[in-house]
């Protein structure tokens, strides 16, 4: 099997009673850019749209678009750092590719594993191992990938999409941001929360930086949709 391993910028665990991050078994992307172990690309991967473009891993995504012509079946596996261990959280199977402005691909087959079923891997680096290379993790991934593919019933990407849509509606409106910050400030668990522990000034600034309102609309990932209104 042909595969490539990408890092997934995940959201840290939130307190169990958090009203915003309600699906505790979902490994969300880092909406708040509050995970210090991440690379900063909080918008990737996009399980909301089941797509990936060259806004992250520019060179590798370009190579995938080229390799798709040679290898019809390519899997992009995602791993993240969670509770001190690197874990496989799911995959995209590369489907239709595009090169209009950004290069990228749509997923033709997807699995997102629940947090408690993500698979630990003995890999501590932040590289981009590939099946056609000589990475030390290759034997492990060669065994893990078929196992994940054969057990699609564990996929919770639909739950991710629906719950993320609700979260993004809050984050992309000034009223939603104000309400979230107000509730966070009153939360008894905020000191144990990776987002709540930030001072209120930092929370306000961070949300404005990530989700500043514009005249355009935003899609489910927070990206601005540049459509004109006549």
* Rounded Cα–Cα distance for residues 131 and 142 (Å): 8
Instruction: Report residue 82 as tokens.
Output: 């969670």
Q: How confident is the model at residue 100 (pLDDT cuts 50, 70, 90)?
A: confident
Instruction: Judge whether residue 215 has pLDDT over 60.
Output: no
Q: In the predicted model, what is the mean pLDDT of residues 145-173? A: 94
Residue 125 pLDDT: 79
More confident residue, 184 or 213: 184
pLDDT average, residue stretch 130-157: 94
What pLDDT score was predicted for residue 151? 85
Question: Quick check: 222 pLDDT over 80?
Answer: no
Residue 102 has pLDDT above 90, yes or no: no
Q: Which residue has the tokens 């990776």?
A: 194
Residue 161 confidence (pLDDT):
95
pLDDT at 77: 97
pLDDT score recorded for residue 223: 52
Residue showing tokens 């490539």: 4
Report which of 83, 76, 59 is spatially closest to residue 110, judged by C-alpha positions. 76
Main-chain dihedrals φ then ψ at residue 96, nearest 5 degrees: -70, 130
- Locate 157 and state its tokens: 């990407």
Q: Give the start-to-end residue ranges of the domains of the chain.
A: 1-230
Q: First CA to last CA across the chain, in angstroms?
A: 49
Q: What is the rounded average pLDDT for all residues in the chain?
A: 89
- Say what the pLDDT of residue 39 is: 80
201 by DSSP, 3-state: which? Answer: helix
Give me the residue label for tokens 């489907």: 95
pLDDT computed for residue 218 by the predictor: 42
* Residue 225 predicted with pLDDT over 60: no
| Residues 73-99: tens digit of each pLDDT | 999 999 999 988 999 999 999 999 998
Beta-sheet pairing, 74-82 with 2-7: parallel
What are the pLDDT digits (tens) for 3-41?
Answer: 999 999 999 999 999 999 988 899 999 999 999 888 878
pLDDT at 126: 73
Whether residue 112 contacts residue 27, with contact meaning beta carbons closer than 8 Å, is answered with yes
Mean pLDDT value across residues 180-187: 96
Please state, as a whole number, how many other Cβ atoms lie within 10 Å of the Cβ of residue 223. 15
Q: Count of CB atoms within 10 A of residue 169's CB?
A: 12
Mean pLDDT, range 217-228, rounded to an integer? 40
Arithmetic mean of pLDDT, 100-109: 92
For residues 99-104, give the mean pLDDT.
87
């Amino acid at each position: 099997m042909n595969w490539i391993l990408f890092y997934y910028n995940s959201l840290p665990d939130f307190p169990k009673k958090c009203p915003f991050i309600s699906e505790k078994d979902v490994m969300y992307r880092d909406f708040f850019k509050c995970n210090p172990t991440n690379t900063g690309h909080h918008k990737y991967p996009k399980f909301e749209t089941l797509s990936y473009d060259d806004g992250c891993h520019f060179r590798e995504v370009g190579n995938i678009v080229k390799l798709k012509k040679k290898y019809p079946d390519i899997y992009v596996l995602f791993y993240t750092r969670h509770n001190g261990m690197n874990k496989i959280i799911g995959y995209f199977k590369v489907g239709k590719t595009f090169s209009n402005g950004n290069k990228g691909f749509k997923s033709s087959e997807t699995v997102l594993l629940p947090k408690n079923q993500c698979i630990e891997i003995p890999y501590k680096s932040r590289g981009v191992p590939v099946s056609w290379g000589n990475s030390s993790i290759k034997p492990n991934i060669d065994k893990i990938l078929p196992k994940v593919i054969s057990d699609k019933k564990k996929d919770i990407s639909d739950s991710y999409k629906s719950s993320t849509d609700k979260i993004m509606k809050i984050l992309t409106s000034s009223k939603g941001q104000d309400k979230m910050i107000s509730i966070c400030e009153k939360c008894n668990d905020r000191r144990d929360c990776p987002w709540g522990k930030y001072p209120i000034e930092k929370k306000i600034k961070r949300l404005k930086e990530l989700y500043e309102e514009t005249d355009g609309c935003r899609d489910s990932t927070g990206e601005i949709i540049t459509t004109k209104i006549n």
